[in-house]
Amino acid sequence: RHGNFGDIVLGYDNVDDYITGNPYFGAIVGRYANRISNGQFTLDGRQYQLEKNIGKNHLHGGLKGFNDVIWDAKQIEVDGSMCLEFSYLSKDSEGGYPGNLSVKVTYSLTENNELKIAYSASTDKTTIINLTNHSFFNLEGEDKGSTLNHEVFINADKFTVTDKDSIPTGEIRKVDGSPMDFRKTKTIGKDIRDAYEQLVFANGFDHNWVLNKEKGNMSLAASVREPVLGRFMEVWTDQPGMQFYSCNYLDGSDIGKNNKAYHRHSAFCLETQHFPDSPNHEHFPDTSLSPGENFYSETIYKFGVYM
């Protein structure tokens, strides 16, 4: 709004900190983003045991998920625009997952101030897949502290209820009359201290919203406005869900860019995804991928200024 440019994504100044750090700053997350109960799922009549890396459960691909592996990178041209393509072969049984999974993630910038992320994958054995990007945003600036004044809209009538370990119970609940209702724009801080059980369990917002959309269609998932500098962002996706995380567990121990400590609620995440623990809930959208099928998904982050 005032012509001020700024870095709005939390991160580190050097590669080593990305390797040793815990918060998944800016990472590609997989094979399965979010949680799987007890690290177990059954596919084609066979039970698979994944690595347990958050208590008794599995999170973000396990002990060495896609955020901790070396990707091949190259510059490519798509529709006349230069893009950055990352590729990785996740081998059979890596983290406990079946099948050799070939993954590509392409990042491109558009003339409309958009960052487009395209995910594609194929497998030689039936497996499960759930990919997302785990960027941490603060629209006032990555070093500015609390985001509780940021105004959020989420295009969702329902969310997936979790237990105290953030594992879905299977219930899909309407947001009506609860702090989970972001259908009318409100600040992150407005209800975050409410005694609502779901917020108590997660120490804030850390839930999957069931997006209002037709399967596979690209649609608006969320928008966020920052009132001081007037920056805004929109998230568009073809995925059925989105994890809104209010960074409840940043505690100052992560020292980021320019030697800045990141504290609780100093960012937020909008992770487009399939639902957590989907393989263990038949009524959740299917996350299986079979040989001969191609997984493809897109998410767009659009940025701008409002007056």
β-pairing verdict for 151-154 and 35-36:
unpaired
Write the DSSP string, 108-124.
EE-TTSEEEEEEEEEES
Q: What is the rounded CA–CA span in Å between residue 100 and residue 123?
A: 6
Active-site entry in 140, 207, 271, 274? 271
Question: Can you say how many angstroms the Cα of residue 206 is from the centroid of all Cα atoms in its chain?
Answer: 11
Cα-based angle 237, 176, 156 (whole degrees, multiple of 5): 5
Active-site entry in 134, 150, 265, 274? 134
Nearest CA among 158, 33, 49 for reference residue 97 = 49
3-state secondary structure of 197: helix
Q: What are phi and psi of 16, to 5 degrees?
A: -55, -40
Here the tokens at position 298 are 């897109």
Our answer to whether residue 134 is catalytic in this structure is yes
Question: Which active-site residues does the annotation give?
Answer: 134, 271
